Structure 1
Amino acid sequence: MPVQLTHQNIRDIAKNLREITGREIKHTQIIGAIAAALGRQPNALMHELKNEVAIPPELQRSGTASDLFERNRVTKTDVEAWALRRGFTEIGRNIFSAPWGDAEIWLKVGAKDVEVKRLQGDHAIKVFDNSISALYLDQFDMLHGLDLFARYYSYYRESGEWPVWFSDEVKSNLREAEQATELRKAKASSSFKP
């Protein structure tokens, strides 16, 4: 059975291991070892987990992440159709643009990969790129594999402005998850008595 770890779970594991080892191993070394076991960079993993909102189990598809990936692989045509469906505008050959705060997000869809850039004024910053074979769509019409979720969800939490590519269903599910999280926090704090 797959196990999902949150940002706090990993921090707690690292804390417990430090207590067992007598604090001879640094906290960052433990997190690095966990990230390495997952094939990830430590900072990227912790950043993604910190900004992730858990989707309630009843809203998730059954199966492992690899099952979800296999069922929902995309092609170049799928990526282009998704971009147009989710509020991007085609501004050139295989280049799609969407507003994001005071900038624009560009998707450059190649034959085998997709590049994400942020344009602000006359500056273009490469945000992410990935092979099309590593991308997939989830049941909420969210494209994964290009870092278009956690980074921009964090922006929404700070600014109150949703990225145009978040579907109404994604927004609704995230609001429900936020409310459930706040309710759990309120219950936990009300039951805590020093």
Structure 2
Amino acid sequence: MVKYSRKIRQRSRKYDKITQEEREQIVKMKVNGSTCREISELMKKNIKTIQSIKSIEKKSEYADLKKALIDYGFQQIMEMQSLDKTNLKIIGKQANKLIKEQLEEQTSKFWNLIPEQKKFSNKRRIIQQIILNIVEKVQNTNQKMNDSQQTTIITKEEFEEKKAEVPSNIYEQPIPLHLTKAYYYLMSLLISHKNNYAFLQ
């Protein structure tokens, strides 16, 4: 009897697996006033599982850590003047090195953001997600910088400054001889064509 009750207590401490549909249903029932015990009995789920569900969207336990490391890695890479920021492979390698260093150091400011039960576990998948986000962020920044360089907007003040640099006697300067000859040649053709048209009328 003692062994049986111990098994029940051990099982009650575990969390049940919840689908996204069940999560939505639990949240709606809570909003409508149902207690965790009522939901637990109705859905045949552990009461601790019901109590742990606060929202429809499941928040990753690594969410704060990922955000902090993405911002850190991005800032560090952008400050590296000698790094070729157009080479995504190089950026990925550098980001991987930076992130691993921070996750392996227990004195790092990011160490406390790691969930307690996951501090010494394999974080390969999380590291890959962080690196991909850093690379994408650097790539987007490069694209914005290129776009801003290609599109130059001149303000009214800048126009006035440039206008002052233009020589005031630009229109008084002599026209080159070859342009003058070309002008008179075209005018002669135009006048000749106009006279022929008048004659036909």
| TM-score in terms of structure 2 length | 0.24
| TM-score in terms of structure 1 length | 0.25
Which has a greater percent of helix?
A: 2
Which has a greater percent of strand?
A: 1
